[in-house]
Structure 1
Amino acid sequence: MAILDPILDRFRKRPPTVSVVTLRGVIGGLGPTRRGLSLETVAPVLETAFKDKHTTAVALIVNSPGGSPVQSDLIARRIRDLAAEHEKPVTAFVEDVAASGGYWIACAADEILVNPASIVGSIGVVSAGFGFVEALDKLGVERRIHTAGSRKALLDPFSPEREEDVSYLKAVQVELHQLFIDWVRKRRGDNLKAEEEPELFEGKFWTGTRGIAIGLADGEGELRSVMRARHGDKTRFRQVERRRSLFERLRFGASADPVAIGEGTLTAIGERAVWSRFGL
């Protein structure tokens, strides 16, 4: 057995392993041909990252301009549940942007580290659309809509905007905004600078450097250097990714499908608009 001892010691002294999960893109469903970040797509990856018995810590690479508040909340809560269940520390590393729903998810980590040029914040709720009433008039098109329920066609883009409908929408936005604020306060706690709070929750966003100063982030840091400084030079990094099904690989590769091309183009335009708010 003495001959095997050196070999066994190598296995007993397994170097620390950091599971890395990349959360990149717009949050929510993007259509049948493109998938954004959602609990459905992210949950299997998170489960694998946290359940690995050799994992010392979990690192989240966050690069998202936001999206669905529901999916943001679901993903963030799943991260906290898994961290508590498996007793693994979680660090979020912000790349270009962690704004709106992206910041919501970043707050699920025990620590948020940024690049000085990262964008963080945008703690607010937005709803955008278009009105086509005058366009229909010029085209001589009559809008016909029939509902059971007086508010079922609320804010229909082809009908004149009504003040009571806008007021109703804003009331919903206020409720969602408060949920976001409560989550940030719960997760960031005393890190938030009280004198800055009036601005923190107005929907503004800041650079990583300013984000640290006002308590939205904890410091600057890059994944490998930070994790090796904490866990040792021999720290291993395990990138955990979602496996796409055969159907998805075939579907997403079907570039000759004109429907897929049209849907993909519209989705890409929408995504581009979300990213462009932050100069990206």
Structure 2
Amino acid sequence: MSDWDDNGKSGWGVPERPAGPESSTGREAPENSRDWKLIEKLVMSLQSEQRRSRRWGIFFKLLTFGYLFLLLFLLRTPVTDGLGGVSTTSGSHTAMVTINGPIASDKVASADNIVSALRNAFEAENAKAVMLRINSPGGSPVQSGYVNDEIERLRQKHPDKKVYAVVTDLGASGAYYIAAAADEIYANKASLVGSIGVVGGGFGFTGLMDKLGVERRLYTSGENKAFLDPFSPEKPEEVDFWNQVLETTHEQFIEEVREGRGDRLRADEETLFSGLIWTGEQARALGLIDGLGSPGSVARDVVGAEEIVDYTHKRSPIRKLVDDLGIAIGSGLFDAVIESRLEMR
């Protein structure tokens, strides 16, 4: 039985290249050969396009899946920051609050965050004492003052709980302002402690503007509204006034250190309050700290409650992810370059 039907098609249903007119030599006509090659190219192009479409389809499906997974994660994760430090033990412990990094209203070490953690630590029923673990260069005198005042208030409210400040790497300026409110201060022998001073600075661009041919046009209502404008020449009377502000803030700092340390200070005030910074070993000799130790040794040997429970304000996972990715990079660049800032450091 023949594999071909009456119409000349294969019985297996496989189309054959159509037979075209042949030349006198028995070969296929050139124009038909070109047409067939064009058809083959078209078919190959369609197949390639299909493969490309499948790959993009897989990509977008994976992207959608990742988006849904992220959305589910966000729904199950707290968006706002919170407090740590729920004691898991029925015994006594040392409640720890960490002050890490610059002290400022827009930083993790803001007064709001630190004060909330301190209140939580003081109110913990099983907390035998509160320990401030400090590693900070200082920062805003306002934020540091808020924390200092709150520590004094909480000490009066909870007279049975002492406060111990432990400096790790750095406890300078505003960080020492906070530490001065503690009952006792400890540090490592190589820690950096002190820097009891105030600084306020900015930039002046008048020379650069002259070179570039830029003219400053500033319109104000109020004689001192453009006080210390970085694009205008300095005025001696404004500099004198600003120095008075710095001196007043410095005196407030000194007064808090005097009140907190009392007769434990063992050096002349001109040296202690000059803005210098010392090692932990030197600071102990000067009376700026009470002894050498670490958070663990202070909890064990001084407080008598070796277990440490951390009550520090915690960043939410989302906030931490955003910060780590650097989304907020440069958010304070204008303030840092243009504005004069008052800081304890």
Give the TM-score band, short-chain normalised: 0.7 to 0.9
Contact kept, 8 Å, 2:299 with 2:307, in 1: the verdict is no
Shift of 1:136: 1.1
Change in CA separation of 1:224 and 1:47 when aligned onto 2, cut-off 3 Å: same
Shift of 1:244: 3.6
Task: String of CA shifts for 1:28-63, please: whole Å, max 9, x gaps.
Answer: 135xxxx24222221221111111011001111011
Counterpart of 2:306 (choices 206, 210, 235) is 235
C-alpha distance in 2, partners of 1:247/1:146? Answer: 43
1:107 aligns with 2:180: yes
Task: String of CA shifts for 1:96-147, please: whole Å, max 9, x gaps.
Answer: 1111101101111100001111111111111111110011112221111111
Within 5 Å, give how 1:106-185 maps onto structure 2: 106-185=179-258
Letter in 2 for 1:18: T
C-alpha distance in 2, partners of 1:151/1:247? Answer: 43
Shift of 1:253: 5.9
Query: Which runs of at least 4 in structure 1 moved beyond 6 Å after TM superposition?
Result: none
Contact kept, 8 Å, 1:16 with 1:231, in 2: the verdict is no
Change in CA separation of 1:213 and 1:25 when aligned onto 2, cut-off 3 Å: same
Shift of 1:25: 0.8
Shift of 1:218: 0.6
Shift of 1:247: 6.9
Counterpart of 1:71 (choices 120, 125, 143) is 143
RMSD (Å) for aligned C-alpha atoms: 2.3
C-alpha distance in 2, partners of 1:122/1:69? Answer: 13
1:261 aligns with 2:329: yes
Structure 1 stretch displaced more, 89-98 or 235-244:
235-244
State the match for 2:103 in structure 1: 27
Contact kept, 8 Å, 2:192 with 2:278, in 1: the verdict is yes
The number of residues matched between the two structures is: 248
Shift of 1:64: 1.1
Larger Cα Rg: Structure 1 or Structure 2? 2
State the match for 1:7 in structure 2: none
Letter in 2 for 1:237: I
Instruction: Specify every segment of 5 or more residues in structure 2 that has no aligned partner in the other structure, as ranges.
Output: 1-88, 338-344
Letter in 2 for 1:239: D
Instruction: Specify every segment of 5 or more residues in structure 1 that has no aligned partner in the other structure, as ranges.
Output: 1-12, 271-277
Change in CA separation of 1:198 and 1:146 when aligned onto 2, cut-off 3 Å: same
1:192 aligns with 2:265: yes
Contact kept, 8 Å, 1:15 with 1:236, in 2: the verdict is no
Contact kept, 8 Å, 1:196 with 1:214, in 2: the verdict is no
Letter in 2 for 1:242: H
